[in-house]
């Protein structure tokens, strides 16, 4: 899986759509755990909430200050995301309703590239909209095409609390918009047909009932 192919990708390219989620979650996902050197004993893997958990519908609140406690949360989120073989995770997915996102879009053969977004804002979403096949650690094993603006600018505070602004396109644009949705209580299945969404949520609920009964 070559993630580099996604920078500046045409989102309508169906071949590449097939690829994008595989880096996010799934059997051939690229990571087999947290990369060496990026973890420390104080990090902990947290439980990821699975839809239709009502907490995933909460609107997360802005962070006042990027301090040690928040960095500890971000470290845990990163470790949790790597463990689950994901490429993006919002704090609410581990039950913390704060406007915090972690992401790593590095390809299989690349050095890990963790990114942290505190109080992110999306600016100037492009008028051009295109589909990407998305998945989500909170909606395991389901993948659907979602239409979103193909590019945008984002403004956020980084791991050190420094304000940054950058242009997002390709996989980065898809992923940041997907994670931003989580901060507003929205799941990617909210962007697909009601029939499909209800089928997916019903199946997840049933799976959880069965797992709890075991």
Residues forming contacts to Zn ion in the complex (CB under 5 A) are 136
Q: How far is the CB of 179 from Zn ion (least distance, A)?
A: 7
Q: How far is the CB of 43 from Zn ion (least distance, A)?
A: 21
Q: How far is the CB of 36 from Zn ion (least distance, A)?
A: 26
Q: Please, which residue, 156 or 188, has the CB nearer to Zn ion?
A: 188
Told to judge if 179 belongs to the known catalytic residues of this protein, a careful annotator would answer yes
48 conformational bin, left if phi > 0, alpha if psi -120 to 50, beta if neither: beta
Rounded Cα distance between 44 and 76, Å, is: 5
- Contact call for residues 160 and 204 (beta carbons, < 8 A): no
Q: How far is the CB of 202 from Zn ion (least distance, A)?
A: 19
Q: Please, which residue, 160 or 190, has the CB nearer to Zn ion?
A: 190
First to last CA, the chain: 36
Q: Please, which residue, 84 or 165, has the CB nearer to Zn ion?
A: 84
Altogether, the residues listed in the chain come to a count of 214
* Alpha-helix runs per DSSP H in the chain: 14-20, 68-83, 170-183, 194-213
Q: Please, which residue, 136 or 168, has the CB nearer to Zn ion?
A: 136
Tell me which residue has its CB nearest to Zn ion. Answer: 136
- Contact call for residues 16 and 9 (beta carbons, < 8 A): yes
Name the catalytic one among 68, 179, 198, 214: 179
Rounded Cα distance between 102 and 18, Å, is: 23
Q: How many C-beta atoms surround the C-beta of residue 62 within 10 A?
A: 10
Catalytic residues: 179
């Amino acid at each position: 899986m070559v993630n580099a192919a996604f920078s500046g990708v045409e989102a309508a390219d169906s071949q590449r759509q097939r690829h994008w989620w595989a880096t996010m979650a799934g059997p051939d996902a690229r990571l087999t755990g947290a990369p060496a050197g990026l973890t420390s004993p104080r990090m902990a893997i947290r439980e990821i909430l699975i839809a239709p958990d009502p907490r995933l519908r909460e609107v997360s609140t802005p962070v006042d200050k990027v301090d040690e406690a928040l960095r500890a949360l971000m470290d845990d989120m990163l470790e949790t995301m790597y463990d689950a073989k994901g490429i993006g995770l919002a704090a609410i997915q581990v039950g913390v309703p704060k406007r915090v996102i972690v992401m790593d879009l590095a390809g299989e053969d690349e050095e890990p590239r963790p990114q942290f977004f505190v109080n992110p804002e999306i600016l100037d979403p492009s008028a051009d909209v295109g589909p990407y096949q998305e998945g989500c650690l909170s909606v395991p094993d389901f993948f659907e095409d979602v239409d979103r603006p193909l590019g945008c600018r984002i403004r956020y505070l980084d791991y050190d609390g420094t304000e940054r602004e950058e242009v997002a396109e390709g996989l980065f644009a898809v992923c940041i918009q997907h994670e931003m949705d989580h901060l507003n209580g929205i799941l990617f299945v909210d962007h697909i047909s009601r029939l499909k969404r209800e089928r997916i949520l019903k199946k997840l609920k049933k799976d959880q009932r069965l797992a709890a009964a075991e």
